[in-house]
A and B are shown apart, each in its own frame.
Chain A
Amino acid sequence: MTRVHTVAQGEHAASIAARYGFQDYETVWQHPENAALRKKRDPNVLLPGDELAIPDSITTPVACSSGAIHRFVLKGTRLLLRLRPLDAARSPMPRTSVELRTNSGTQNATTDDSGVVEIALSVRDREGVIIIGDREIPVNIGYLDPVEEQSGWQARLINLGYLAPFIDEPDPIELRGALEEFQHDHGLTLTGEPDPDTLSKVRDVHGS
């Protein structure tokens, strides 16, 4: 018997699994009823409205003798925030300090020679601030939508520095400019449209 959880914004497979008491998100994600979802989604990039089947919690009785000490290894999800900061000309930034502040606390790390940094996350971390040098960037972790959605490719183009953040509605001219510039930089046909080739490339270049 399974329940169905409807994904809300900001949720990802690991955070949902944890809500239902599953330390390892794979127990939920690999459930046969999620096969269709697995085909089209990355577990960390879900869309509000997606339906995730949640198996019943599994109680596995283990026989142990009393009076002795027993070790249980909890297999949990190793959740990370992997970042690739880029400068104003979109070049990687190796050996740069990055700080992440969330409700769980503050962590510091340094990007490696290729400009990538990994910071451990708790499933409860949703809102935070990333600090690089003097720049403070408020972030929402787990809020990235699939690239096929307008909100998804727009957010990635913003992260890649092709589009300036907007408040209410994005300016269509800006959107087109961002797409064309991305297409130019990655050897795609300049259509100014979010066609499948472009979106696929956006996802690859962004990393998620």
Chain B
Amino acid sequence: MANQIVLDGIGTSGGRKSAHPIRQLRTLLAPATGQQSNALCLSPSPVACWRMDDVRFGFDSSFVLPGARAELRLLKAVIDENPRCPASVFGHADPTGDDEYNKQLSGRRAMSVYALVTRDTAKWEELFTSSFGGDRWGAPEIQIMLATVEASAGGASVEGSTTLSSADQIQAVRAFQRENGLVVDGIAGPRTREKLFLAYMTALCTDDTTGEVLRLDPRVDFLGHAADAGGKGDVQGCGEFNPVLVFSSEEAQQFAAMQDHAGRDDQNVCNRRVVVFLFPKDSRIDPVNWPCPRTKDGTGACRKRFWSDGERRRTPAGNRRLYERDRDTFACRFYDRLAMSSPCEGAGEQSMFIVRLCDGEDKPIKNARCRVVHGQRIISGEANENGEILVQALREPPVCTIEWGFPGGPETEFSYSVELFVDVDTDDADVAASRRLHNLGYSSGPTMSDDVRGFQLDHGMTETGQLADIRAKLTEWHDGGDPPRGD
């Protein structure tokens, strides 16, 4: 198994993170001899994304479960990979229930995540004390938090037992209160909760292997920079307006007829998610102009941003539709533009290929140190015993640079480097073939014809020097065969 170098997307059981493809193109402007002027918007397109799935929340709840640790590690990673790129949090609900209900619910989930990473215990207290429909925080949540905090502190873990006897519960609260300088009365009141929330948030945001902690500053790390008290620009709920999956009309009818909603809820799970987008470095927006309403507001402002056929998009009709394939399931135009190239929402084509790193004599370098540069992303890694690495990247930009050297050398010095095409498929068959030829290591000849001959010689073919003659073989070798060599 080649050692993975994942440049752009990585997933866990409860979510994923990814970079967005970067489209760096020239802006076209008109000079002025009179009154001409040019608007120049500092691209509001996200540069990276993160998603946390429903499984990390309690059922129908905004409470974040301990398993979210894994996804919070991913969030820290994507933020570290994109320094000074501010975030905005979007919560989504499935279509069960009415629009207003779902807007509030998705908003509560988004706010819960926002508060978690900024350590805003007051916002969690608000979620705790004002329940909403099925979203009710209570004794079970207190228990989970106590158990998690205790386990993090190295105490005995009570994992797996979510129903402690009330006597044991009180004991657990007392123990926590004792350890945290609180009045020891066995009741998890507001003061106890405040400290418990903080301890739990910290536990979830701490990587227990590296000790690194994820903590964001509301005034610096979010797009609206906390300029708005209600979080406009920083955190919002999209309700059910942007599903990634829309049932077929048949499925919708069948589910509606069933008494037990478990099947429908299961199928709908992918729609219940929280997405964070990271925006270009140092972006800021004036909340006044941000189209999304606050988490506590109603759906009015959302509807203003609907596609003219927004209702059709999010409503079952005909076949089942998926955002990643059909691209027409989101009702909100604004969100659609943000998510358009987001691998977290199913967009973006990736390439995966194995590269065998060799020395000057074409011998694989065991555990070679290497570094892959793709656009603005740089990842260091190590090859496996066969000198192989598995590179996974989005297809834009189309070229990446791989540098490698012998293990144990200085960190930034590499003996060898090569440029590889990450995107070998273009409409032009000749270009596609020449890219594959290059990737396979045949690009040092003075002309293309020499490179083709080199390939033909190595593969026992007649040396014609014609690219067309080797196209099929190239695809076979490149896409399925020997990993490319480097020298």
What per-residue 1/0 map shows which CB atoms of A164-176 lie under 8 Å from chain B? 1111000101100
Tell me the count of chain B residues lying within 8 A, CB to CB, of chain A: 51
Contacting pair B308 A84 (CB below 8 A): no
Contacting pair B304 A184 (CB below 8 A): yes
Chain B contacts for A207, CB-based, 8 A: 35-39
What per-residue 1/0 map shows which CB atoms of A145-170 lie under 8 Å from chain B? 10000000001101111001111000
Q: Does B396 sit within 8 A of A, measured CB to CB? A: yes
Q: Does A53 sit within 8 A of B, measured CB to CB? A: no
Please choose the segment from A32-40, A54-62, A128-136 that sits at the chain B interface, where 4 or more of its residues have CB less than 8 A away: A128-136
Interface set of A (CB-CB < 8 Å, partner B): 12-14, 25, 42-45, 77-91, 116, 118, 121, 125, 127, 130, 132-135, 137-145, 155-156, 158-161, 164-167, 171, 173-174, 177-178, 180-181, 184, 190-192, 205-208
> Contacts A174-B337, A184-B305 hold; do A161 and B29 have CB atoms under 8 A apart?
no
Chain A contacts for B282, CB-based, 8 A: 133-135
Contacting pair A164 B341 (CB below 8 A): yes
Chain B contacts for A43, CB-based, 8 A: 33
Count of A-B residue pairs with CB < 8 Å: 198
> Contacts A164-B45, A173-B327, A184-B304 hold; do A84 and B37 have CB atoms under 8 A apart?
yes
Contacting pair A86 B39 (CB below 8 A): yes
Contacting pair B36 A140 (CB below 8 A): no
Q: Does B333 sit within 8 A of A, measured CB to CB? A: yes
| Minimum C-beta distance from B431 to chain A (A) | 12
> Contacts A89-B286, A181-B334 hold; do A80 and B341 have CB atoms under 8 A apart?
no
Interface set of B (CB-CB < 8 Å, partner A): 23-33, 35-45, 84, 223, 233, 279-291, 304-305, 307-308, 327-328, 333-334, 336-337, 340-341, 396
A160: nearest chain-B partner, CB-CB:
B39
Q: How far is the CA of A116 from the CA of B39 in the complex (A)?
A: 9
B43, B280, B334: most-surrounded residue (chain A CB, <10 A): B43
Question: Which secondary structure characterizes the binding site on chain B?
Answer: loop
Query: Out of B28, B280, B290, which one reaches A155, CB within 8 Å?
Result: B28
Chain B contacts for A12, CB-based, 8 A: 30-31
Query: Out of A141, A155, A156, which one reaches B31, CB within 8 Å?
Result: A141
Chain B contacts for A81, CB-based, 8 A: 29, 31-32, 38
| Minimum C-beta distance from B345 to chain A (A) | 14
Q: How far is the CA of A181 from the CA of B37 in the complex (A)?
A: 22
Q: How far is the CA of A141 from the CA of B30 in the complex (A)?
A: 6
Contacting pair B280 A90 (CB below 8 A): no
Contacting pair A164 B337 (CB below 8 A): yes
> Contacts A89-B290, A164-B337, A181-B337 hold; do A135 and B42 have CB atoms under 8 A apart?
yes
| Minimum C-beta distance from B166 to chain A (A) | 51
> What are the 9 closest A-B residue pairs judged by CB atoms, nearest first?
A161-B41, A207-B37, A89-B285, A82-B37, A88-B44, A89-B289, A208-B36, A208-B30, A165-B25
Query: Out of A45, A91, A160, A191, which one reaches B30, CB within 8 Å?
Result: A45
Contacting pair A192 B285 (CB below 8 A): no
Contacting pair B31 A14 (CB below 8 A): yes
Q: How far is the CA of A192 from the CA of B341 in the complex (A)?
A: 20
Contacting pair A85 B42 (CB below 8 A): yes
Chain B contacts for A173, CB-based, 8 A: 327-328, 336
Given contacts A12-B30, A137-B27, A155-B28, list 11 more A-B pairs with CB under 8 A: A44-B32, A81-B29, A86-B41, A88-B279, A89-B290, A164-B23, A164-B337, A173-B328, A173-B336, A181-B334, A207-B39
